[in-house]
Amino acid sequence: MKIIVQKYGGSSVADTQKIKAIARKISDRLDGGNKIVVVVSAMGKTTDGLVRLAKEISAEPDPRELDMLLTTGEQVTAALLSMALRGSGIGSVSLNAYQAGITTTKEFNEARIKNFKKDKIFKFLETNDVLVVTGFQGVTDDGELTTLGRGGSDTSAVALSAALKADCEIYSDVDGIYTADPKIHPAAKKIKYITYDEMLELASTGAKVLHSRCVEIAKKHRINIYCASTFSDSEGSYVVENTIDQPVVTGLSVMENQTQVTITNLELDYSLVKTIFEDAAREHLNVDMISIINTGDTLNISFTIIEEKKKHIDASLKKMLKHLKGWNVNYHSGYAKISVVGVGMKSSYGVATRFFGALGDTPIRLVTTSEIKISCLLEDRYKEKAIKSLIAEFKL
């Protein structure tokens, strides 16, 4: 018995016609004696609609109740898809987080999957050819409903693949992974094979195809992910452990709405650095592109956050550093972060030279690098030109 895990995103299940089309697609895949475990998102803009209802009730909806609300979205899709499959004579059953035994940690709105009750899943597979599981959600050991946050359904699918030791196919309205966002840069090319590490860098630097949490799990459990379009037969992209004949740079990603936070003239005490970033983590503020300069008698710290968190970090910094004198903080918004990623960088020289060469005289505000990535921060108005030059330079 070969098990395949498939995941269908919100736009793929936006209406009942599409759900019926997916039922046919699944039915075709059963022919070889496969069993299919399908993970579904909420239909179209359902989750947005539910969030809007919550905001009508309260500007800051209670996180526990928000998860009770949001988890209904995927259950609707799962029930309808299983209904369509049963209507075509296929043995199918829809399962919510309780029924599938998806246990998570206790953080509402951003829980992490701890475990799948595999026995339950295998038991259901004995009597059914297809299981339709609600993505994006789980249940704590206390029976509380949780959601996994952004990209949660992808994470559900890959975690399920890991538990069942099955390949994972992720279907959406995008037909694969591209060297740059094809909606903005039509010249971008589809990547056939990409490594986990490259995909992780691309995902964490702004590419929206797969969420980094889901790639992390795939990497840990060596699950091959296939990303393709739901309603097209064109071949998609594979996320795998190793690729042969690796280009130096595989892809480019862009993250907008960046604010640069610069703290200057801070007293020379490195424990302050620890305090600042620990506090940011506790407040769930994602800081990025950290750069620290020791001027000899003071510390200058610079990092980026997304624009909407500016007030939040400002309040946090002022509270934390209020007993100190002489320091300053300033904020520059309207920046974009551009990253190029490729495992080939590890074994190639001169990538940085080519990178900065392509950018020419564009004023760069911050630079960070990893073994397989170079990122730079620049004003929005220089973004388009910079991306074009990098795509040309690295033949993306």
Q: Applying CB under 8 A, which of residues 2, 48, 53, 278 lies at the interface with its own copies?
A: 53
Does 384 bind its own copies (CB under 8 A)? Our answer is no
Task: Find the angle CA(60)-CA(63)-CA(68) to the nearest 5 degrees.
Answer: 120
Distance in Å, CB of 374 to its own copies, minimum: 45
Does 125 bind its own copies (CB under 8 A)? Our answer is no
Structure tokens at 285: 């503020």
Distance in Å, CB of 21 to its own copies, minimum: 12
43 with 101: CB under 8 angstroms?
no
Select the span of 56-64, 226-234, 273-281, 384-392 touching its own copies (CB under 8 A).
Answer: 56-64
Q: Which helix (H) or strand (E) holds 280?
A: helix 271-282
**Binding residue count for its own copies, defined by CB under 8 A:** 37
Strand arrangement, sheet containing 113-116 = 113-116, 102-104, 137-139, 145-147
Which x/- pattern, by CB under 8 A, does the window 7-26 give for its own copies? ---------xx-xx------
Does 94 bind its own copies (CB under 8 A)? Our answer is yes
248: nearest Cα among 388, 375, 376, 372: 372
Give the DSSP letter string of 133-144.
EE-SEEE-TTS-
Does 143 bind its own copies (CB under 8 A)? Our answer is yes
Strand pairing partners for 302?
262, 291
Does 6 bind its own copies (CB under 8 A)? Our answer is no
Does 45 bind its own copies (CB under 8 A)? Our answer is no
* Distance between CA atoms of residues 134 and 147, nearest Å: 11
Does 111 bind its own copies (CB under 8 A)? Our answer is no
Does 153 bind its own copies (CB under 8 A)? Our answer is no
Does 75 bind its own copies (CB under 8 A)? Our answer is yes
Q: Applying CB under 8 A, which of residues 48, 62, 241, 278 lies at the interface with its own copies?
A: 62
Does 93 bind its own copies (CB under 8 A)? Our answer is yes
Does 57 bind its own copies (CB under 8 A)? Our answer is yes
Structure tokens at 259: 């604010």
* Distance between CA atoms of residues 62 and 144, nearest Å: 14
C-beta neighbour count of 182 within 10 angstroms? 15
Select the span of 76-84, 149-157, 333-341, 345-353 touching its own copies (CB under 8 A).
Answer: 76-84
The residue ranges of DSSP E strands in 269-365, in sequence order, are 288-294, 298-306, 328-341
Q: Judging by DSSP bridges, how do beta strands 113-116 and 145-147 pair with one another?
A: unpaired
Contacts with its own copies by CB under 8 A lie at: 16-17, 19-20, 50, 53-54, 56-58, 61-62, 64-66, 68-69, 71-72, 75-76, 78-80, 82-84, 86-87, 93-94, 96, 98-99, 143-145
